[in-house]
Homo-oligomer: A and B are copies of this chain.
């Protein structure tokens, strides 16, 4: 790989919905390579992916990050439903001419990835849900007061970010400082900051997704591609509880809970998580799912 994530240019592509999408594109792109598309967290833009994670993922495959409609460098409006976010993402994917992809959704991005898997299953080869939860789960009608206070303020600040994405342990705090340093190493051509309108619309979508409705939990039982569910053991934003729920509802899911980590477990444990993702995307699923799936 010639260029690290921090040096990648911001690219733009126009979709049929009239939105110009900002994205970055890295890693292998030989014939037959299925791209891995990443779906970002609440209020995040292209610069909020830890370059250490993207670079580790891109060793083995093509990796695409993008701003969904209304976010960062993309034009358009951030919608207030996950359903519309999924349609907007599908427009980007169509513009990129990807007929099949692996999806890695993180936090609200994992809701969008779930929705795409349910709406257009033929597109999705394998699905990775990081810090995720099923629509309708009880007890997730918005985030805990201290969480939304920390990351939902008009001006996001590093201390609020660290308190939600990393634990209070010295190791995790240091990992958080390191991740922030990597994200801010890029000084040229940074992505546009996300707006207050994006924050409001995304949180509306999060609260709506969390309207408790037991019947809706059954939706994800229709997801029949292989799924890898991952979470930090101390995530205060989306509790591991919901990862277990997803793993129990989705027929062919594996789950891994990473130690001493919070919402940003995939940045803290970037090497281990990237290796787990690589193994999941490449290995024989028949063997891999023994003991994890239903029958």
Contacts and interface: CB of A to CB of B under 8 A. Distances in A.
Which of A214, A249, A253, A293 has the most C-beta atoms of chain B within 10 angstroms of its own C-beta? A249
A13 interface: no
Contacts of A249: 245, 248
Contacts of A137: 248
A4 interface: no
Interface string A243-263: 111111101010100000000
Give the contact-size bracket for chain A. 20 to 34
Which of A144, A240, A242, A253 has the most C-beta atoms of chain B within 10 angstroms of its own C-beta? A240
Interface string A205-228: 000000000110110010000000
Copy number of this protein in the oligomer?
A: 2
A291 B138 contact: no
Nearest to A233: B291
Contacts of A253: 241
Given A138-B221, A214-B215, A214-B218, A144 B245 contact: no
A236 to B, nearest CB: 9
A148 interface: no
A217 B295 CA distance: 18
Nearest to A140: B294
Which of A235, A239, A240, A291 has the most C-beta atoms of chain B within 10 angstroms of its own C-beta? A291
A156 B92 CA distance: 59
A234 B139 contact: no
A8 interface: no
